[in-house]
Amino acid sequence: NGAAGDYTFDATTSDSYNFSKTSTSIRLDTVATFGAVTASSIGSSSADISSTAVGNDSVSTTSLEYQYATTSNFTTILTTTAASPSSLTASNSASDTTVTSAVSGLTPGTHYWVRLKATNTGGDSFSTATDFWTAPTISSANPDHGPLAGQSSVDLTGVGFNSGEVGNYTVKFGTETATNVTYINGTTLRVDAPSHVAGPVTVTIEHSGGASFTTSTSIFDYFDKPAISGMSTYSGPIQGGNSLVI
């Protein structure tokens, strides 16, 4: 083990002749090292990934890529994404280089692990993996309307709801937070709508790990209960049929 670079080695006998021999230049390469991997801007199918990497000055190229799996041991690599930069050269290998990537095409409501892989003449090396959840999606609400006071039970239809993660979900109608978030099945959550001002709202689901999904259109409408302030007449014939203004 040692720092990367070119070395010579001395070999000396242990007998009385004290014979010695110095080698020609021998190259010692080392694998890359890494900083922590982070995931940000996590949606239902995408995320931004970042880390740092250090190669070494004696290696001409260290190639980089991010790997993704749904288990921490990476038994099966589900996908890889190109890193930016895609490689380190000798000129930028001596210090931390920020390495980023944008991944898409992920499955909603899924637990992923990601690590940075580097390959050079010293071999392959891997960063410590980090994990993140993608957000479930929401497509509709039933009923799709409710009173300003809230508290009405609403079933939300979507993809990727997880019974073990329901405690990590926050559901918002507009800017207000729903209560009693309950897992029904993988495509249905039941919540109590919060109070809100009148009008249509989008619905957002957030995971405590940082993932978030917001419906592209308003799927729930708040309305005020009608109130009667007076009528044009307060009496009429038994047989009905008379006109009045409310």
What would the pLDDT profile of 169-192 be if each residue is shown by its tens digit? Answer: 999 999 999 999 999 999 999 999
Q: Extract the tokens encoding 43.
A: 């949606």
CA distance 134 to 209: 9
pLDDT at residue 8 tops 90: no
Q: Which of 136, 134, 133, 174 is nearest to 156 (CA)?
A: 136
Give the pLDDT confidence score for residue 178 in this predicted structure. 97
pLDDT tens by residue, 130-153: 999 999 999 999 999 999 999 899
With CA atoms as reference, report the closest residue to 5 among 88, 94, 96, 86.
94
pLDDT at residue 22 in the model:
65
CA distance 246 to 179: 37
Global confidence as pTM: 0.79
pLDDT, tens digit, 9 for 90 and up, residues 66-85: 999 999 999 999 999 999 99
Higher-confidence residue: 188 or 124?
Answer: 188
Nearest Cα neighbor of 47 from 219, 215, 207 is 207
